[in-house]
């Protein structure tokens, strides 16, 4: 939906990588609405006792399936927990973000739009048919609206998979990049790094950073078997302007030192882990911009 505030001020920046209790409560409200209107009846039907036609959602069966597939997610879904300081009060809460995103993908896989086929007056309910594509489309739009309005950096795609929305400047660079270096192994490493960096899982995003640094080390050897001579040749191809050339050489050395000193390329005890997700984003963006510059002039 196109809201007035978005038209006036622009959309909320989608930078939050942790799903808030507010956003989680909105997702739970969606699911409860689908339970009430029979939106899960295609997979978990409540059947009419007078003819066995689907007439709603078997919430017990749905809950049992959710608990089996989503260990750690409470059913019925909870949006608050007791306040440890005031036992009679409850405070908003949200499960771990990756668990919520798994659940969003699960809901997409089982939801369907209920269609009233016939009114059963005697038992005061409707017999239902289902359109899964329409139901999935509605859920996708609804949950993405919650993500957008709450500034959440994830999006559910028509494939049923949740992807992370990259920072805007990175999103454009990664989407436009074509890896045609003449070296298949390097091309594959860069593609693998790009794919992993879009993952909602921070562990996989750190793997993307490691793979990008592997690609950088291979790139440095493409012009000559002597790595030092090779990188000189590659940098010379980028620019002959002395000051800019010196800056690029300094950057190449600094990036090599980062790869060696942080827990990126090596796994010795002296290496410093890169834990914060925004630190991972920064290092990925810095090296990716440099690699893109180098391969664009080869």
pTM above 0.95, yes or no: no
105, 156 in Cβ contact below 8 A?
A: yes
Burial class (CB in 10 A: 0-12, 13-18, 19+), 182: exposed
Output the CA torsion 58→60→66→68 (10° steps).
-130
- Buried (b) or exposed (e) across 231-246, using 16+ Cβ within 10 A? bbebbeebeeeeeeee
Class of residue 108 by CB neighbours under 10 A (exposed 0-12, middle 13-18, buried 19+): buried
What is the reported pLDDT for 42?
Answer: 96
pLDDT attached to residue 273: 86
Q: What is the mean pLDDT of the chain?
A: 91
Q: Where are the domains of the chain?
A: 4-163, 167-296
pLDDT for 52? 79
Other Cβ atoms closer than 10 A to 278: 10
pLDDT by 10-residue block (mean), the chain, 298 residues = 82 90 98 96 91 90 98 96 81 96 98 92 84 98 96 96 82 73 92 90 92 94 92 93 95 93 78 86 92 82
Cis-peptide into 76, omega within 30 deg:
yes
Using DSSP's 3-state secondary structure scheme, residue 288 falls into helix
């Amino acid at each position: 939906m196109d809201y007035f505030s978005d038209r006036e001020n622009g959309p909320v920046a989608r930078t939050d990588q942790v799903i808030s209790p507010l956003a989680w409560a909105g997702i739970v409200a969606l699911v409860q609405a689908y339970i009430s209107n029979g939106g899960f009846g295609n997979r978990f039907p409540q059947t009419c006792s007078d003819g066995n036609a689907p007439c709603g959602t078997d919430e017990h069966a749905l809950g049992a399936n959710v608990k089996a597939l989503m260990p750690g997610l409470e059913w019925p879904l909870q949006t608050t927990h007791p306040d440890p300081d005031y036992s009679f009060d409850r405070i908003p809460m949200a499960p771990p973000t990756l668990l919520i995103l798994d659940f969003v993908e699960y809901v997409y896989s089982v939801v369907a739009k209920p269609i009233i086929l016939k009114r059963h007056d005697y038992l005061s309910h409707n017999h239902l048919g289902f359109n899964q594509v329409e139901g999935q489309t509605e859920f996708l739009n609804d949950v993405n609206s919650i993500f957008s309005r709450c500034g959440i950096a994830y999006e559910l795609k028509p494939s049923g998979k949740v992807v992370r929305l990259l920072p805007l400047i990175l999103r454009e660079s990664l989407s436009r990049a074509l890896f045609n270096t003449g070296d298949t192994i390097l091309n594959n490493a860069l593609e693998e790094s790009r794919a992993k960096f879009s993952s909602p899982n921070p562990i996989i995003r750190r793997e993307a950073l490691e793979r990008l640094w592997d690609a950088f080390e291979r790139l440095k050897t493409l012009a000559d078997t002597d790595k030092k001579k090779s990188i000189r040749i590659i940098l010379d191809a980028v620019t002959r302007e002395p000051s800019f050339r010196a800056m690029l050489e300094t950057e190449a050395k600094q990036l090599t030192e980062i790869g060696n000193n942080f827990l990126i390329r090596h796994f010795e005890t002296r290496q410093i882990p890169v834990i914060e997700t925004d630190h991972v984003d920064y290092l990925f963006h810095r090296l990716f911009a440099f690699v893109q510059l180098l391969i664009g002039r080869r």
